[in-house]
Chain A
Amino acid sequence: MIVALIFVLVAVGSVVFHLLSPWWWTPIASNWTYIDATITMTFWITGGVFVAVVLFLAYCVFRFRAVPGGRATYEPENKRLEVWLTVATALGVAAMLAPGLFVWSRYISVPAHATEIEVVGQQWRWSYRLPGPDGRLGAVETRLIGPDNPLGLVPGDAAGQDDIIIEAEDLHLPIGRPVKVLLRSIDVLHDFYVPEFRAKMDMVPGSVTYFWFTPTRTGTFDVLCAELCGSGHSMMRSRVMVQTAADYQAWLEGQRSFAQLANRK
Chain B
Amino acid sequence: MTGTLLFFGGLVAFALWWLSRQGLAAKPWLESGVPGDAPAGDTTISAAKIGLAIFMAVVSTLLVLLLSAYSMRMEMADWSPPPRPGLLWANTAVLVLASIALHHAVHAAKRGRRDAVASSLLVGGTAGLFFVLGQLLAWRELASAGYLPANNPADAFFYLITALHGLHLLGGLVALGRTGTTLRRAPLARLQLSLELCASYWHFLMAAWIVLFVALAFAPPLDWLVALCTAPLR
**Interface residues, chain A, with chain B CB atoms under 8 Å away:** 76-77
Contact = CB atoms under 8 A, between A and B. Distances in A.
Nearest to B29: A76
Contacts of B29: 76
A76 B27 CA distance: 9
A104 to B, nearest CB: 14
Contacts of A76: 27, 29
Nearest to A75: B29
Contacts of A77: 27
Interface residues of B, number: 2
3 contacts: A76-B27, A76-B29, A77-B27
A77 B30 CA distance: 12
A123 to B, nearest CB: 23
Contacts of B27: 76-77
Interface in B16-56: 27, 29
A76 B31 CA distance: 12
A77 B29 CA distance: 10
A77 B25 CA distance: 13
A76 B28 CA distance: 9
The 3 closest A-B pairs by CB, nearest first: A76-B29, A76-B27, A77-B27
Nearest to B28: A76
Nearest to A76: B29
A76 B29 CA distance: 7
Nearest to A207: B76
A152 to B, nearest CB: 17
Nearest to A74: B29
A140 to B, nearest CB: 16
B73 to A, nearest CB: 12
A150 to B, nearest CB: 24
A105 to B, nearest CB: 13
B126 to A, nearest CB: 46
B98 to A, nearest CB: 42
